[in-house]
Amino acid sequence: MKERLKALTRELMLIPGLSGHEGRVRRYLKGALDDLGLMSRTDRLGNLIATIPGAEDAPSVMLFAHMDQLGLIVRKIEASGLIRAERLGGVPEKALPAHEVLLCVGEGRDVRGLIANKSHHATAQDEKYRVLPYPELFIDTGLGSAADVIAAGINVGTPIVYAPNFVELGGDRIAGTSIDDRAACAVMLEVARALDEVDTHPTVHLVFSVLEEFNLRGAVTAAQALNPDVAIQLDLILATDTPDMAARGDVRLGGGPAMSLYSFHGRGTLNGVIPHPAMVKLFEDAAQDAGLPLQRSAHVGALTDLSYVQLVGDGVAAIDIGFPMRYSHSALESCDVGDLVGLVTLCVEAIRRIDANFSLDRDDYP
Ligand SMILES: [Zn+2]
C-alpha cells in the first residue's frame, strides 16, 4: 500500500487547485472513485461526494478532506507586464519571494512565473531582515507588457499557486506543494479501497471538500445534505519535532497518525473543535487494537472546516485526525509516507467499530 499511496499523493500534489478553482483536482478524484466502482456527485459549491452504504442501524459517518489549496489571485497587471497579487488563504509572506508560481489559465495553457526577490546586490542593510507584505511583491512571467499578459489568458482574478512540486527526501519523507491536504485525499481513497474488504461497517460518506483554505466552510453544504451522525476530518497535524516548534508539543514525523484534542482560532473566526468524547475513545481503542501509535495534539492558532461541520443539524460528533506535517503552507511542506499508511489503517479500524451499539450519548462518557 505504501508505494501506491506515495504515488497517489504525488499525483494529487502536482494538480493545481486553488480554493474556488478545484475542478482539476475534483476530476482526478472522480476518476479515482470511478476506478474503485464508487459513484460520486458534485454539489453546487463543488464538493465531491461518494457514499459507501453500510449497516443502517449504525451512526452514519462523513469522512472528509479538502481538495483546495491556498495561493494568490491576480489583482492588477502593471503596464510593464509585472503582476500584483491578492492573497487567498494563510499565505506565509516570508516564504514567498524567489518562488516559482503557476498562473492557472487552463489545462495546457498555464503560465509559469516567479515571485520577484529584489537583487541582493541592491539590498540595503535594513532591508535584509524585513519581510515584504504581499502587496509589495510582484510576479514576473517574462511577458513584457500588459497586452502580452492578457493575450496569454491572464486577467484580474486568475488563480496563482506555487509551481507544483514533489520531492523525495530521506527514508519515507516527502516534500512539496499542497501535502495539505492532498495527502489526506489520497488516504481517503485508500480507506475507501480497504472498506470494501471489511464485512460490516456503517454508511460512510466520502467528501472531498472545497474552500477550506478560503473560508473554512465549504464542507458545510455537504454536511447539511448528508446529515451525518459522525464527522471525521483528515488533515495535517502540526509536527513539533524541529527546534523552532519544540515548546508546542511532542508530535513527530514518522511517529504515526495523530488526533487533535483541542483547536481554536480567535482572530476573526472565533471557532475550534473540542472532539466528542466518543470519538476520542473510538480512535484510542482502534489504535490500541491495531497496535498503532496515536499522537496527541492541542493547539491554538489553526482551524479546519470541521469547526463548522460540527454545528450542522442537531450537532455532529466530530474529531480531527491527521498526519504530522512540517512547514505548513510553504511551497515545501513535508510529511512521512509511513504516517499516511498508519492513518489509513487507523481510519479503517475506527470506522469498522462504529456499529449499532456505538453510543453518541454524552452521558455515557466521563
Ligand atoms: Zn488543510
Digit-coded pLDDT (tens) for 59-105: 999 999 999 999 999 999 999 999 999 999 999 999 999 999 999 99
Split at pLDDT 50, 70, 90, the class of 265 is: confident
Predicted local confidence at residue 150, as pLDDT = 98
- The alpha carbon torsion through 223, 317, 238, 302 (nearest 10 deg) reads 60
At 210-235, the pLDDT tens digits run 999 999 999 999 999 999 999 999 99
First and final C-alpha spacing in the chain: 38
Q: How far apart are alpha carbons 192 and 63 in whole angstroms?
A: 10
The CA angle 319-216-256, to the nearest 5 degrees, is: 40
| Ligand 1 center–CA 314 separation, angstroms | 26
More confident residue, 5 or 267: 5
Mean pLDDT, the chain, as a whole number? Answer: 96
Q: Catalytic: which of 3, 93, 168, 212?
A: 212
d(CA 181, CA 200): 28
Cα(24) to centroid of ligand 1, in Å? 18
Alpha helices in 161-217 (DSSP H): 179-195, 212-215
Decide: helix, strand or coil at residue 33: helix
Q: How far is CA 185 from CA 29, 119, 122, 151, 258, in A?
A: 8, 39, 44, 35, 16
Instruction: Report how far ligand 1's centroid is from the alpha carbon of 268 (Å).
Output: 18
The number of beta carbons lying within 10 Å of the beta carbon of residue 182 is: 29
Please, which residues bridge with residue 296 across strands?
A: 259
Distance from Cα 109 to the centre of ligand 1, integer Å = 27
CA–centroid distance, residue 180 to ligand 1 (Å): 5
| pLDDT value of position 269 | 73
Nearest CA among 312, 306, 317 for reference residue 226:
312
- Whether residue 212 lies in the annotated active site: yes
Q: What percent of the chain has pLDDT over 90?
A: 94
Whole-number percent of the chain with pLDDT over 70: 99
Confidence of residue 302 (pLDDT cuts 50, 70, 90): confident
Residues 6+ apart with CB under 8 A from 233: 64, 65, 219, 304, 305, 306, 309, 318, 319, 320, 321
DSSP label at residue 182:
H
Class of residue 134 by CB neighbours under 10 A (exposed 0-12, middle 13-18, buried 19+): middle
Mean pLDDT, rounded, for 279-284: 98
Between CA 70 and CA 75, with CA 73 as vertex, the angle to 5 degrees is 150
Local confidence band at 267 (pLDDT 50, 70, 90 cut-offs): low
Instruction: Please state the three-class secondary structure of 94-158 as a single string.
Output: HHCCCCEEEECCCCCCCEEEEECCCCHHHCCHHHCCCCCCHHHCCEECCCCCHHHHHHCCCCCCC
Ligand 1 centroid distance, CA of 237 (Å): 9
Taking a 5 Å cut-off on Cβ, the residues next to ion ligand 1 are 180-181, 235
Element of type H or E holding 48 = strand 48-52
Query: Is residue 226 within 8 Å of 63, Cβ to Cβ?
Result: no
What pLDDT sits at residue 268? Answer: 65
Distance CA 90, CA 292 (A): 32
Q: CA-CA distance, 350 to 290, in Å (whole number)? A: 10
Q: What is the distance in A from the centroid of ligand 1 to the CA of 89?
A: 11
Going by C-alpha positions, the residue among 349, 359, 24, 364 that lies closest to residue 198 is 349
Give 278 Cα–ligand 1 centroid separation in angstroms. 24
Q: Which residues partner with 265 through β-bridges?
A: 271
pLDDT of residue 270: 85
Whole-number Å distance, alpha carbon 142 to ligand 1 midpoint, is 32
SS3 305: coil
The predicted pLDDT at position 266 comes to: 75
Going from the Cα of 151 to the center of ligand 1, the distance in angstroms, rounded, reads: 34
pLDDT in tens, 136-182: 999 999 999 999 999 999 999 999 999 999 999 999 999 999 999 99
